[in-house]
Amino acid sequence: MKKLNSTFPIALSLIWALTSCNGNNEDKKQDTGSPDTIKAGISRTDWGEFDGKKVYLFRLTNTKGSEVKISNYGGTVTSFVTGDRAGGKSDIIIGFDSLNNYLRKPPYFGALIGRYGNRIGNARFKLDGKEYKLAANDGKNTLHGGLKGFDKVVWDATVMNDSLPSLTLNYVSKDGEEGYPGNLKGTVQYTLTEDNELKIEYNAETDKATPVNLTNHSYFNLTGDVNNTILNHTLMIDADNYTPVDGTLIPSGEIKTVKGTPFDFITAKAIGKDFDSVKGGYDHNWVLNSKGGSLQKVAVLSDSLSGRSLEVYTTEPGLQFYTGNFLDGKFNNHDGKPINLHTALCLETQHFPDSPNKPGFPSTILKPGEKYHSETVYKVVVN
Ligand code: BGC
């Protein structure tokens, strides 16, 4: 991977212009001017500003006609347009076309999640004999990094001089931010391949031991139309076990078989098939048979209307399958249609929720000198 030479004029244009503006970001002008082409397969549009930093929307395209849009606000994937069986195209990811909508704090649509994806029970954990207190932003628990997680910060963006369209985002989370110990340097690279794969690579380093669990929170509806429920999609998850949860969605610490339960997706089935027997809908962590470590196919989501399938590959040991149980029509998708209950779902690759308090779960502690590395690929296939 080579960075664009700094004498290259387009690379220069990527150096952020820091502004002295502050105040109500909701009122900031949304510059949705014409895109600048950075290199083949990548263009960039000014999208406004937040926290005194410029926000951009990057558009990555491949020669197969697919496109992905990503903002450096929250490292958010705002759109993933792909073909369907009938030769049409649509957006299979929930998202918005303006920064202002993201500032209304939607439920993590498309965003990067950190420092810790999913919940930590009672918003606290002990590490090396010391107790750390986090923000309780989900009842008494902490969710997705706290009040201002990695989804609500502006990342520094660099376009790499790779053969494929690829965007690298950097964020330094300060020691004590949201209660977590250590300065954590996080790097996330998004790449769109010629095989219609959105590849996400996460790297991080710290100067004090800290929990780290990074993921992406894209919501999918493979029909491309949120008027269609995702309960008709079929899903396979290659996991013999899952982690049962309490009423506040904190795992009990047990690892239970999916056999004979509604959590059995070993053989692909309609999501709606056993849905009514899961109180509140699916919002659980599956313990992947791949166990993590190497990139393996762990799930396949399919939609018979469009002919699209989404294959999920990851190096992570867990997968949070969430059926949009809290979607309530408050936000409208790109096309103006309300995003209602069960009209989009998430397949979040991760370590297990509440691992810092669950000694039996794979560790999420990153120590100084170690390198955090994780990869996930979302591949769209048309049948
Ligand atoms: C969680 C849900 C939560 C959602 C937020 C998912 O990862 O598991 O419980 O409501 O994110 O949108």
The response to whether residue 283 sits with its C-beta less than 6 Å from ligand 1 reads yes
Residue 363 has pLDDT above 60, yes or no: yes
Give me the pLDDT at residue 36, please. Answer: 84
In the reported structure, the alpha carbon of residue 100 is separated from the centroid of ligand 1 by a whole-number distance in angstroms of 22
Q: What is the pLDDT of residues 57-104, one digit of tens each?
A: 999 999 999 999 999 999 999 999 999 999 999 999 999 999 999 999
The response to whether residue 109 sits with its C-beta less than 6 Å from ligand 1 reads no
Taking CA atoms, 254 is separated from 182, 245, 257, 322, in Å, by 30, 9, 10, 19
* C-alpha span between 244 and 358 (Å, rounded): 13
Give me the pLDDT at residue 37, please. Answer: 82
Residue 2 has pLDDT above 50, yes or no: no
Residue 6 has pLDDT above 90, yes or no: no
Give me the pLDDT at residue 22, please. Answer: 27
Residues 186-212 have a mean pLDDT of: 98
Give me the pLDDT at residue 5, please. Answer: 31
The response to whether residue 138 sits with its C-beta less than 6 Å from ligand 1 reads no
Residue owning the nearest CA to atom 9 of ligand 1 = 283
Percent of the chain with pLDDT over 70: 91
The atom of ligand 1 lying closest to the CA of 117 is 7
Q: What is the pLDDT of residues 114-143, one digit of tens each?
A: 999 999 999 999 999 999 999 999 999 999
Give me the pLDDT at residue 12, please. Answer: 33
At residue 50, φ and ψ (nearest 5 deg) are -155, 140
The atom of ligand 1 lying closest to the CA of 217 is 7
The atom of ligand 1 lying closest to the CA of 107 is 12
* C-alpha span between 213 and 116 (Å, rounded): 4
Residue 213 has pLDDT above 70, yes or no: yes
The response to whether residue 97 sits with its C-beta less than 6 Å from ligand 1 reads no
Strands ordered across the beta sheet of 241-243: 219-220, 345-350, 318-322, 283-287, 241-243, 256-257
Active site residues: 217, 348
Give me the pLDDT at residue 67, please. Answer: 98
User: Alpha-carbon Rg of the chain, whole angstroms?
Assistant: 20
Give me the pLDDT at residue 27, please. Answer: 29
Give me the pLDDT at residue 343, please. Answer: 98
Residues 351-356 have a mean pLDDT of: 98
* Least trusted range by pLDDT, from 25-29, 266-270, 377-381: 25-29
Q: What is the pLDDT of residues 228-287, one digit of tens each?
A: 999 999 999 999 999 999 999 999 999 999 999 999 999 999 999 999 999 999 999 999
The tokens for 338 are 């309300």
Residue owning the nearest CA to atom 10 of ligand 1 = 326
Q: What is the pLDDT of residues 40-66, one digit of tens each?
A: 899 999 999 999 999 999 999 999 999
Give me the pLDDT at residue 34, please. Answer: 75
Residue 148 has pLDDT above 60, yes or no: yes
Residue 32 pLDDT level (bands cut at 50, 70, 90):
low
If you average pLDDT over every residue of the chain, what do you get? Answer: 92
The response to whether residue 348 sits with its C-beta less than 6 Å from ligand 1 reads yes
Residues 311-317 have a mean pLDDT of: 98
Taking CA atoms, 26 is separated from 58, 229, 341, in Å, by 21, 32, 27
141 within 8 A of 248, measured Cβ to Cβ = yes
Give me the pLDDT at residue 21, please. Answer: 27
For the entire predicted model, the pTM comes to 0.92
Give me the pLDDT at residue 160, please. Answer: 83
